Structure 1
Amino acid sequence: MTTIYVPYHLDERLDGLVDEPADVTVTVEFPEDGDIWGRLAVLYERVADEVSGAEAPVVISGDCTTALGTVAGLQRRGVDPAIVWFDAHGDVQTLETTTSGYIGGMPLRVLVGYRPELIADRLGIRALAEERAVLVDARDLDPAEEEYLKGSGIRRYRLQDLELPEGPLVVHVDLDVVDGAELPGLLFPVPGGPSLGAVLAKVEEIIATGRVVAVDLACTWRPGNGAEAREFVQTICKGFRKDPNKFRTQRDH
């Protein structure tokens, strides 16, 4: 297992998000005159490089957009993953539908093919078929996201009802999927979610299938917070260090 720490929320450097020691810490010098997509492409290019060379990557960052680099890295080494996306939010906004302009609300939509010229083409991401993505416990959706998901192939599940897509899997967990009352300090807390223990148990259940090729953890809390969720991160990493054969490696494809 290789832990890859990306201490950023979008292009903002954030130190002290987690206590887990990393095998690799990804940092970059951003171009001063680039637009946000170009700046993020510089960062996620580095993430993709690290993931492509890691046998069992666990990527830990401060947002969900880092998953673009994780998927790009896997595809570079010939893996065609499906994705299991745990998140209280849909992350399927677009520049045309967002009311906030927040890019962190768009990464799943980008992964399934939205406007590849923004960043996917720069990273070499091949769009995932919508049917290869599942969204778990998303409960804070804008009307435009609800409308899109009604007509898309992305399947939505409650945690207890989750059905996995076929093939190798990326497990992406935004920790705000957990009930907001249980995790103080979240950037975008949402009530009514599952417990931290229930999410951990489900992730471990998925890992036990032997089909997971990467885990992507979005630590979406303010630095200095997230004590309970930090333990979640540590538990996932310790489990892999104890039994690295849980991961499906690139040799298995």
Structure 2
Amino acid sequence: MKFKKISIIGVPMDLGQTRRGVDMGPSAIRYAGIVERLERLSYEIEDLGDIEIDRAERSDEENIGNLRNLKAVAEANERLAAKVDQVIQSGTFPLVLGGDHSIAIGSLAGIGKHYLNLGVIWYDAHGDLNTAETSPSGNIHGMPLAVSLGIGDPRLTNIANYTPKVKPENIVMIGARSLDEGERKLIKEKGIQVFTMHEIDRLGMAKVMENAISYLQKRGTDGVHLSLDLDGLDPHDAPGVGTPVIGGISYRESHLAMEMLSEAGMITSCEFVEVNPILDEKNKTANVAVALMGSLFGEKLL
């Protein structure tokens, strides 16, 4: 990886969904030793602390047009976008710790303005391509990829004052196994590249990652953002998530994926999200997240 300095940004957001506890994700990941792990790999680490989140009480008044906590989620993502923008301007790698997956709205808003042809790897059980019209729940953590494509409420799509943040042909989804009808339609309509669990099972993770890396390289991407939701892994390996889906990517397959991304040297920013310590077993999921970050940033056995 060309970066030698990493800036950690915590986003204790739990307003993009309804299960409490995911706001403690950044603390759990820090407790699991992320700073020490990366320092052992000879990176210079700057922990910038946490983005301030408006702790407004959840109420019907905050649910605007089938969008839960819209105002607070939008404001937090504006703050995150500004912070990520500053980090990239300083020539440092932004490592964002969630928090629920709605924080990807702010991450991509801060990142996208620095690249002409940004690629995105969406490592997740879900598509996160819902809108207020298609979402069964109104939870914004199921919408960040659609928002980043410029689809959705303008209070979200226009964060950082531009839209879209990424082109549909520059997205690769890995590990999908739970898609709503509206998401399936949008994937086909936009021609988004998806490697579902079927492809991972049939081809193997090595071939899937080779194909994903080759796809983004052929697209001529000048940067690639990795958005990794811990529910992309099987709940056996990552139990501390709010929306677990059985039959997911294994711990070892995920390490291989991160190792191959590290070897490709293509990741220029990333976020690890949806670690919920309340639902976890002895901080197992945060420890998994830290181990995967180790592989992504070049950790090797020998």
Rounded Cα–Cα distance in structure 2 between residues aligned with 1:191 and 1:29 = 31
Instruction: Indicate whether 1:147 and 2:173 are aligned.
Output: no
Aligned identity (percent) is 24
Deviates more, 1:232-241 or 1:143-152: 232-241
1:6 aligned residue (11, 24, 49): 11
Partner of 2:142: 105
Partner of 1:96: 133
Deviates more, 1:180-189 or 1:28-37: 28-37
The amino acid across from 1:194 in the alignment is: I
More helix by share: 2
Rounded Cα–Cα distance in structure 2 between residues aligned with 1:137 and 1:230 = 19
User: Given the superposition, is the C-alpha separation of residues 31 and 4 from structure 1 closer, same or farther in structure 2, using an over 3 Å criterion?
Assistant: closer
Three-state SS of the structure 2 residue aligned to 1:205 is helix
The amino acid across from 2:148 in the alignment is: L
Partner of 1:203: 258
Rounded Cα–Cα distance in structure 1 between residues aligned with 2:98 and 2:117 = 22
| Unpaired stretches in structure 2, ≥5 consecutive residues | 1-5, 36-45
**Aligned partners of 1:172 and 1:216 also within 8 Å:** yes
Rounded Cα–Cα distance in structure 1 between residues aligned with 2:278 and 2:55 = 25
Rounded Cα–Cα distance in structure 1 between residues aligned with 2:270 and 2:250 = 19
Partner of 2:42: none
Larger radius of gyration: 2
**Aligned partners of 1:71 and 1:125 also within 8 Å:** no
Instruction: Indicate whether 1:134 and 2:195 are aligned.
Output: no
User: Given the superposition, is the C-alpha separation of residues 46 and 194 from structure 1 closer, same or farther in structure 2, using an over 3 Å criterion?
Assistant: same
How many residues align? The count is 243
1:117 aligned residue (135, 150, 154): 154
The amino acid across from 1:91 in the alignment is: D
Instruction: Indicate whether 1:156 and 2:194 are aligned.
Output: yes
Deviates more, 1:56-65 or 1:6-15: 6-15
Deviation at 1:187, TM superposition (A): 1.0
Deviates more, 1:198-207 or 1:104-113: 198-207
**Aligned partners of 1:10 and 1:40 also within 8 Å:** yes
User: Given the superposition, is the C-alpha separation of residues 183 and 236 from structure 1 closer, same or farther in structure 2, using an over 3 Å criterion?
Assistant: closer
Three-state SS of the structure 2 residue aligned to 1:60 is strand
TM-score, length-scaled by structure 2: 0.71
Partner of 1:250: none
Rounded Cα–Cα distance in structure 2 between residues aligned with 1:88 and 1:118 = 26
- Per-residue CA deviations over 1:75-100 (Å, capped at 9, x if unaligned) read 34456421000110111111111111
- Per-residue CA deviations over 1:95-127 (Å, capped at 9, x if unaligned) read 111111111111111111203513121322431
Instruction: Indicate whether 1:23 and 2:47 are aligned.
Output: yes
| Unpaired stretches in structure 1, ≥5 consecutive residues | 244-253
Rounded Cα–Cα distance in structure 1 between residues aligned with 2:115 and 2:155 = 23
Deviation at 1:58, TM superposition (A): 0.8
Instruction: Indicate whether 1:49 and 2:60 are aligned.
Output: no
Rounded Cα–Cα distance in structure 1 between residues aligned with 2:99 and 2:108 = 17
Three-state SS of the structure 2 residue aligned to 1:113 is coil
Deviates more, 1:1-10 or 1:226-235: 226-235
- Per-residue CA deviations over 1:182-229 (Å, capped at 9, x if unaligned) read 322321111111112211220231132122110111134343626332
